[in-house]
Structure 1
Amino acid sequence: MPKIFLLLLFCGLAHAQALSGRVSSAEEGAMEGVLVSAKAAGSSVTITVVSDAQGRYSFPASRLQPGTYSLGIRAVGYELGGPATATVLPQGTAIDLHLGKTSNLAAQLTNAEWIASVPGTHSQKRTLLNCVGCHTLERVVRSTHDSAGFVQTLQRMAGYANQSTPLRPQRRLADRDRELIGEERARFQREQAEWLSAINLSSGPSWRFALQSLLRPSGRGTRVIITEYDLPRPTIEPHDVVVDADGIAWYSDFGDQSIGKLDPKSGKVTEYPVPELKKGWPTGLLSLRFDREQNLWAGMMYQGAIARLDRKSGKLQLWSIPPELNKANTQINMTSPLHFAVDGKLWTQNNGFAAVHRIDLASGKWETFEPFKDSKRNHNIYDVIADSKNNVYFTDFANEHIGRIDAKSGKITLYPTPTPGSSPRRGMMDAQDRLWFAEYRGNRIGLFDPATERFQEWEAPTAWSAPYDIALDRNGEAWTGSMLSDRILRLDPKSGRFVEYLLPRPTNIRRVFVDNSATPLAFWVGSNHGASIIKLEPLD
């Protein structure tokens, strides 16, 4: 491995730059799109910038105070070779970074790069999208299971709750009602096991396919500053992150009974415990959304309830699902609280048996709507999003439907997306009551206009991006994140052009949020498997 040289030039730099330099390698010369990260000793905050077309990187003086910092880089195929440190002086410090080729490319690949690398049909590769919610695909391809061993593994994996990670696995107590069952499931597992055993290391010490990597960021994708805030424990799973009017970031813990609060100025984290209502069932919260007063509403998943946290007083209020609906597979993931003041009713859903619920908050009465009760197909109602009149729209993650329930009549209407099997996942309403949503298996951003009943779709520029959620900014651009490639996507709907930003480390992106009050505007996301919260600020 080439030795790494750090050229320290303590010269009279402009005061606007605390740390700057040039990134290069013997193979490429000046390198664009290399992420350079700096973290002060004892700090929980990491700052990252990206090198430009001339290989130059620079940290503004406002982001790095004088002191000692550890340095890191992200550039697939390259590495620094060992820890690097820099002393930032009051007058500025320059460090040129010389990178060497990595001897372990496989350890650097994202899930999207593994899917691109392995041989197989598109249908076979799509099955891997079911795996990445809990663990990396590197675990799969490095395994040595034969087909029979994989069948046993798949059967075991099917019993884990969706908030499981290798650090904290949790078992489900029952299957969802509308999942594959019986021989149909067994046949699917046998077919998948046969394919998986052909792409792992069961037949030898090396893979029989070439490893493929994505291009590094370029152009506008390099004009960004990224700030990452570590959370106190590695088991915290910040699934949803939202930022209030005071600039405080709030998050739901996907694996535990807790709502967290991060003060970005101090880095202080405060946790608000949420009661465990069903002992023995999986713990954790999923959605976290504001109402009009910026109180927080959370879906308590397998605990069979929703929670409201008054962000000023810290008071918590719960609404439990009625006993006749509180089944072993009940899973209340989402709420849509923005417009409940219209009629005093809050929409939620039930992932356990593909239902939508509406709660009268004053009386506590729950209503149930089952759009797919008589369907023989697999369905999964994932998100619920209310419009300004508190009509609700829902996404059918198992197929390709956007559904609507009229708040007054209860009428249910289904609209299939133009892309079959698109798996619409999460979304939001814009000011015109148009629904924006992410198409996880369709690899697209979708827009549905109820006034015309027409769809628009924009395909992500990188294969296997698998977007999870959508957020709109004040300029009319749509933002999403990839669960597989560690990339943030920014779409200009008028031109159809995307900008992609790479994050500093594996992230497993879920809910996305844009703080439109910030200057520049700020994109926030939780590192669901990395126990951190990330703020991305575009510089254009």
Structure 2
Amino acid sequence: MRKKVWCFSIRSLLAAAIALSGFLVLPNSAAAQASKSANLSGLASVSGMVESAKPFQAAKVYFRNAEKRMLYMVYTNGGRYQAMHLFPGNYELNVQAKGLESDVQKLVLKAGQTATANVSLREASAAEQRRDVEVLSFDGIYPPGPGLVVARKTCIYCHGANFLPSKHWDEKQWNSGIDYMTGKDNRQGAMIQPNEMSQSEREVLVQYLVKNFGPSSKTRAVKVETEMPVDETKVGKAMYVEYYFPTDPPGSGINDPKYAGITDEGPFAGRRVSQDVHFDQQGNVWIIDRGFPNRLSKLDPRTGQFKEYLTPDPTAGVHDLTIDKNGIVWVPENEGVPAGQLKLDGFNPKTEKWEARYPFDPENVIPAGTVKHAQSLTIDSKGNIYTVLILGSGLSRWDRETKKMTTYPMPSPNAFPYGIVVDKNDNIWIAEFHASKIAKFDPKTEKFTEYSPPTQPALIRRLNVDSK
């Protein structure tokens, strides 16, 4: 039977993804599996009714514990809710539904307590609903015409429909932005390829952007025409738990003066940025912190306690991690220190030390002068580790037996390889973000095969392989 490889374009990801920034979100079912042996008698539960003069469905009930730096959220089902297995402590309780909000209640939970807390909803204020942003239909924001055709295939399909109306740029600013996206002064390379936009199309695009998203334009957002269907009977059984990173004290972590000069890393400078969550065999959760300094964090969801470890080069940049069958946590450096000398780092949780470091592309297969940036990785059945070079357009393989790193150029130039998975036959499947293709690498022949999906451009970021 032919294997099926599931692909997710950026458009579907934007609709479904949960963004993590400074905190970790876990479904309670996963946390519960990690704590089957925990003594639940020391925890508390809360249930109650949520009332409103206006009808609502699947309201979100929040319990915020500032001392533990945690937040629990459950949905209502028929106006009722139940939150299980909360740590004892002081909580702030509030409820939100579409256009509705409750006042914040103080709540103290004790170990073993089964508490009741009923809540009333009122109409949310303008500030709570962000009415400073004008919400319109797509057609109300984007007038039809040749400019929209170009904008769809160069801007909207990647940034989403709400990016352009958030800008208020003049012609010079829009031209500068387009220059950057076509590769000028962009160390990541061209995001808009030469064959994707002609000079005449660019001129049409600039005129369209200035006319509709110029300095005098209002901040607008596209109205959600069709609400995502919600089955209260199902979501009412779920719980989401957020674990917030510890705050760095003065002079430490993001407040350390040695990292104060890092200001050109956009959203990663001066803050904690969590990414890539993995469970180990003991039920602990390992997370990458992309802020500076770069850190590897371990969370015990049974206690809510974090333990953190600086990476060997805390300014090298990090993105993903994976854990092998021996429990070693593997983290690829994005660009290395100095830039271009990136490495694959291995952390041993038993010794709490970084015990392995292997340079990517030691034979300089990727042409000299090319920016290299390692990102996603996967492990095959033999323990070999495959990492994509999203910048540099390569695939690196670390051989567990020989400890040798081998690099292969991707078949398409500037492919921007992003997601990577392995199938049951140890074939490696790669999402080529810019090339809008899926690549298969056969380790036996060391050859690539590319597949183009029917919808173009596809912008495939992540992919997965089913059991067949």
Query: Could you state the TM-score of these two structures normalised by the residue count of structure 2?
Result: 0.69
**2:311 matched to 1:298?**
no
Aligned counterparts of 1:91 and 1:319: Cα–Cα separation in 2: 53
Given that 1:32 and 1:218 are in contact with CA atoms closer than 8 Å, whether structure 2 keeps it comes out as no
- Give matches, 1:445-456, under 5 Å: none
Is the contact made by 1:178 and 1:379 (CA closer than 8 Å) also made in structure 2? no
Name the counterpart of 1:331: 373
Name the SS for the 1:371 alignment partner: coil
Superposed counterparts of 1:46-125, under 5 Å: 46-52=71-77, 54-60=78-84, 62-63=85-86, 65=88, 67-80=89-102, 83-88=104-109, 90=113, 92-104=115-127, 107=130, 118-119=141-142, 124=151
Write the letter of the residue equivalent to 2:54: E
**Secondary structure of the equivalent of 1:144?**
coil
The alpha carbon displacement at 1:258 in A equals: 1.9
SS in 2 for 1:390: coil
* 1:268-307 pair list within 5 angstroms: 268-276=305-313, 283-303=316-336, 304-307=342-345
Q: Which residue number corresponds to residue 425 of structure 1?
A: 461
C-alpha distance in structure 2 between counterparts of 1:205 and 1:420, whole Å: 32
Is the 2:319–2:334 Cα contact (8 Å) retained in structure 1?
yes
Structure 1 314/68 Cα, relative in aligned 2: closer, same or farther at 3 Å? closer
Q: Which segment drifts farther, 181-190 or 38-47?
A: 181-190
2:409 counterpart of 1:369: yes
Alignment: residue pair count: 384
Q: Distance in 1 between matches of 2:348 and 2:382?
A: 16
State, as a whole percentage, how many aligned pairs show the same letter: 18
- Cα separation, partners in 2 of 1:206 and 1:360, compared to 1, 3 Å: closer
CA distance in 2, matches of 1:86, 1:195: 53
Change (3 A) 1:97 1:91: same
Give the CA deviation at 1:142: 4.6
Q: Could you list the per-position Cα deviations for residues 167-190 of structure 1 after superposition, in whole angstroms to 9, with x for gaps in the alignment?
A: xxxxx9723378636995987776
2:445 maps to which of 403, 409, 412: 409
For 1:204-243, list aligned pairs within 5 A: 207=220, 214-215=227-228, 217-219=230-232, 220-233=234-247, 235-243=271-279
**Deviations 1:247-281 (Å, cap 9, x if unpaired)?**
1100112344221111112222222222339xxxx
2:399 and 2:464 map into 1 onto residues whose CA distance is 22
C-alpha distance in 1, partners of 2:53/2:352? 56
Q: 1:44 aligns with which of 26, 50, 69?
A: 69
Once residues 394 and 143 of structure 1 are traced to their aligned partners in structure 2, the CA distance between those partners, rounded to angstroms, is 33
1:390 equivalent in structure 2: 426
Q: Which runs of 5 or more residues in structure 1 are unaligned? A: 1-15, 161-171, 435-540
What secondary structure, in the 3-state scheme, does the structure 2 residue paired with 1:358 have? Answer: strand
SS of the aligned residue for 1:332 comes to strand
> Is the aligned partner of 1:19 residue 2:32?
no
CA distance in 2, matches of 1:109, 1:410: 55
Question: In the alignment, is residue 247 of structure 1 matched against residue 283 of structure 2?
Answer: yes
Superposed CA deviations along residues 381-416 of structure 1, whole A, max 9, x for unmatched, are: 212323344332211112442221221222321222
CA distance in 2, matches of 1:422, 1:218: 30
CA change 1:247–1:87 in 2 (3 A) is: same
With over 3 angstroms needed to count, the CA separation of the structure-2 counterparts of 1:56 and 1:308, relative to structure 1, is: same
How far, CA to CA, are the matches of 1:285 and 1:208 in structure 2? 32
1:262 equivalent in structure 2: 299
2:170 to 128, 138, 146: 146
* In the alignment, structure 1 residue 315 sits paired with structure 2 residue 369: no
Unaligned runs of 5+ in 2: 1-42, 248-269, 337-341
Distance in 2 (alpha carbons) for counterparts of 1:116 and 1:254: 38
Tell me, yes or no, if the aligned pair for 1:290 and 1:338 is still in contact at 8 Å: no
The 1:390/1:340 distance shift into structure 2, 3 A limit, reads same
Query: Higher RCO, 1 or 2 (CA under 8 Å, sep at least 6)?
Result: 2
- Root mean square deviation, CA, Å: 4.0
Structure 2 vs 1, CA of residues 405 and 417 (structure 1 numbering), >3 Å: closer, same or farther? same
Task: Give the structure-1-normalised TM-score.
Answer: 0.60
* 1:242 shift after superposition: 0.3
How far has the Cα of 1:217 moved from its partner?
3.4
Q: Contact between 1:333 and 1:349, CA under 8 Å: does it hold in 2?
A: yes
Q: Partner of 2:176: helix, strand, or coil?
A: helix
In 2, Cα distance between equivalents of 1:230 and 1:109: 29
Counterpart among 21, 24, 32 of residue 57 in structure 2:
32
- Partner residue in 2 for 1:516: none
Task: Give the direction of change, closer, same or farther, for the CA distance of 1:129–1:204 in structure 2 (3 Å limit).
Answer: closer
Q: Supply the distance in 2 between the matched residues of 1:301 and 1:191 (Cα, whole angstroms).
A: 37
Partner SS, residue 51 of structure 2: strand
Residue 200 of structure 2 is aligned to residue 176 of structure 1? no
User: In the TM superposition, what is the alpha-carbon distance from 1:193 to its structure 2 partner?
Assistant: 5.3
**Match of 1:346?**
385
